[in-house]
Structure 1
Amino acid sequence: MTEAARDAAAAAAGARPGDARQPLELLVALLDLERIEEDIFRGVSPPESSVRVFGGQVAGQALVAAGRTVPAERQVHSLHAYFIRGGDPSVPIVYQVDRVRDGRSFTTRRVTAVQHGKVIFALSASFQLAEAGLEHAVAMPDVPPPDSLRSQAEWAAESELRIERPAIHRPFEVRPVTEPIWSGGAPGEPRERNQVWMRADGSLADDPLLHVCVLTYASDLSLLDQVLAWHGKSWATNRVHGASLDHALWFHRPFRADEWFLYDCTSPNASGARGLATGYFFAQDGRLLATVVQEGLLRVID
């Protein structure tokens, strides 16, 4: 285990309550898994975790485990995952990698995350050697640049609800394009899109796998918010029982997660106490970087 991983394990165990490192440093440490056996890795959760492990964390850690069994010249282009059980943040998570296929152009890995002897999460990921081919992409929406917008922290500080920034958001600088639906403390106007600028709050090492895993973590931060926003509701102003059910991500072009990207989210459907949300990640220069789809359980308690 690296020094960073040892520090993260100590923090998760409560041994470093006064840890002075920045939130992004702690996130990078969480993604630096311990290899405990061939194709078996161990990860931890931060000390400020809620009652269950954040979905973006387990997805990012599982992708790290998969990526560490693949040659560096093969980059991940897609992942598909199911959240099976709520994770326990007080104990480590064991990630078991199955080397499904190593082809001439593509590599496939399957990862299961295990706690207390049970699978809590399952991920399949595909990696590809770089190839040239057809190129097109949807256009980025016309939105104000991030430097002209207020940060999420500023919106929260001025909100009637006096909302504290969740720990899972702290590794990122977030700037909503429009006023957050939760900021006024009253039921909001229904909206068909949720758009935020985001970037890692600091500099990241030049490791492509780290950048895609950080983006994977970020992809779970605000996606299901849009299902609620469609109905003028939010986590802050309504009693909502929610959980991610599955998650799919396609990576289209190289990027850095410590540079601004627009997360443009919408929701094509909600039914059966489930909501479906889709999101596009765009670079500031308009390039489409990744596409996300997630379904979640959403029970609004009136």
Structure 2
Amino acid sequence: MNEALKELLDVLDLEQIELDIFRGRSPDEHIQRVFGGQVAAQALVAAGRTVQDDRRVHSLHAYFIRPGDPAIPIVYNVERVRDGRSFTTRRVVAIQHGKAIFTMSASFHIEEPGLEHQAAVMPQAAAPEDIAPFHERVREAAGAAGQESPWREWLARQRPLDARYATPVPLEALHDPSLSRPTTNVWFRYEAELPDDPLLHVVLAAYASDFTLVDTVLLAHGQAWGTPNVAGASLDHAMWFHRPFRVDDWMLYAQESPWSGTARGLARGEMFTRSGELAVSVVQEALIRVSQL
């Protein structure tokens, strides 16, 4: 287990300070605001700690309201909206400086039989073992694109998860515009033998879901984060969890951007197990502003 993953697991271990009130911290961060995937993951931990063990997360819907400050704790207030026979609903508000920075509704469902089908097909992609890790690809691409420290170092630093692009990395498209496309396929896994706790695997999938999704919008236009003319932030995020999965096994995150305009971009993704089973569906809209240099 690398140090970044150890720190992430520690960050996700929230402190309970009162009934249905939790406090979380952020890793030391000097380049950007609090990572959206971290806030979503922590909010899901807070919600899950108020739910019966026989219920599993099946969906979440979230809004990013204000940028998070990594220098101070985040307080998560959980509202017990519903405790039904089959479904449980929780609403979570993340607060900093006395204001909401994030809201999320999450729904939990007991396991029960039903109609089953899968129309989604996992894209063809090179095996993750045959692809260079993200940090190696981005370090080389940042150098070719002329990106200097501290952004180059931040983009290429160690991450909690091992991500491997089976398609171009956005920074590569800056150097070669012919690589621009509105689709991205990324293998990812957490390099550790994780506990069998289903909530933990869902929480870590939520964290990973925000790592590369909006990149797909930028890749369609030959743009990338870390360049001085690109600024943006996640606006909202939705996920549906279809079946059990493990994030310490390789999963393919197939992503596409069907539209962008009016300073916003839409991206959607599907997470497949290595055997091709659809495990998670994701949709996100982001604010993206690109200025002329």
Q: Under a length normalisation based on structure 1, what TM-score does the superposition of the two structures give?
A: 0.89
- Whole-Å Cα distance in 2 between the matches of residues 30 and 224 of structure 1? 23
Aligned pair partner of 1:140 in 107, 119, 122: 122
User: 1:140, 1:282 within 8 Å by CA — same for their partners in 2?
Assistant: yes
Quick one: structure 1 residues 120 and 169, their matched pair in 2 at CA, closer, same or farther if it must change by over 3 Å? farther
- Whole-Å Cα distance in 1 between the matches of residues 211 and 234 of structure 2? 11
Unaligned residue ranges in structure 2 (runs of 5+): none
Q: Secondary structure at the match of 1:75?
A: strand
- Whole-Å Cα distance in 2 between the matches of residues 112 and 129 of structure 1? 24
Quote the residue 2:183 is aligned against.
Answer: 193
User: 1:172, 1:198 within 8 Å by CA — same for their partners in 2?
Assistant: yes
Quick one: structure 1 residues 77 and 216, their matched pair in 2 at CA, closer, same or farther if it must change by over 3 Å? same
- 1:124-163 equivalences in 2 (<5 Å): 124-137=105-118, 138-159=120-141, 160-161=144-145, 163=152
What are the Cα deviations for residues 125-176 of structure 1, in whole angstroms up to 9, with x where unaligned?
0000001111122111111111121211221343324733548861011111
- Whole-Å Cα distance in 2 between the matches of residues 50 and 101 of structure 1? 39
Quote the residue 2:37 is aligned against.
Answer: 56
Q: Secondary structure at the match of 2:211?
A: coil
State the superposition RMSD in angstroms. 1.8
- Whole-Å Cα distance in 2 between the matches of residues 26 and 49 of structure 1? 16
What are the Cα deviations for residues 198-239 of structure 1, in whole angstroms up to 9, with x where unaligned?
001222222111111111011000111111111122124562
Structure 1, 250-259 or 227-236: larger mean CA deviation: 227-236
Q: Secondary structure at the match of 2:243?
A: coil
Q: Secondary structure at the match of 1:220?
A: helix
Amino acid at match of 1:286: G
CA apart distance, 1:268: 1.1
- Whole-Å Cα distance in 2 between the matches of residues 111 and 65 of structure 1? 8
Aligned pair partner of 2:291 in 285, 289, 301: 301
Matched, 1:180 2:169: yes
Amino acid at match of 1:278: R
Matched, 1:112 2:93: yes
User: 1:57, 1:217 within 8 Å by CA — same for their partners in 2?
Assistant: yes
Matched, 1:89 2:70: yes
User: 1:173, 1:199 within 8 Å by CA — same for their partners in 2?
Assistant: yes
Amino acid at match of 1:266: E
Q: Secondary structure at the match of 1:221?
A: helix
User: 1:187, 1:237 within 8 Å by CA — same for their partners in 2?
Assistant: no
Structure 1, 208-217 or 167-176: larger mean CA deviation: 167-176
Quote the residue 1:249 is aligned against.
Answer: 239
Aligned residues: 283
Structure 1, 100-109 or 179-188: larger mean CA deviation: 179-188
User: 1:48, 1:167 within 8 Å by CA — same for their partners in 2?
Assistant: no
Q: Secondary structure at the match of 1:61?
A: helix
Unaligned residue ranges in structure 1 (runs of 5+): 1-19
Which structure shows the bigger proportion of residues in helix conformation?
A: 2
Structure 1, 272-281 or 40-49: larger mean CA deviation: 40-49
Structure 1, 227-236 or 97-106: larger mean CA deviation: 227-236
Structure 1, 175-184 or 130-139: larger mean CA deviation: 175-184
CA apart distance, 1:185: 4.8
Q: Secondary structure at the match of 1:194?
A: strand
Quick one: structure 1 residues 300 and 144, their matched pair in 2 at CA, closer, same or farther if it must change by over 3 Å? same
Stretches (4+) displaced over 3 A: 165-169
Quick one: structure 1 residues 249 and 184, their matched pair in 2 at CA, closer, same or farther if it must change by over 3 Å? closer
Amino acid at match of 2:251: F
User: 1:181, 1:188 within 8 Å by CA — same for their partners in 2?
Assistant: no
Quote the residue 1:40 is aligned against.
Answer: 21
Percent identity at matched positions? 54
Matched, 1:78 2:59: yes
CA apart distance, 1:181: 3.0
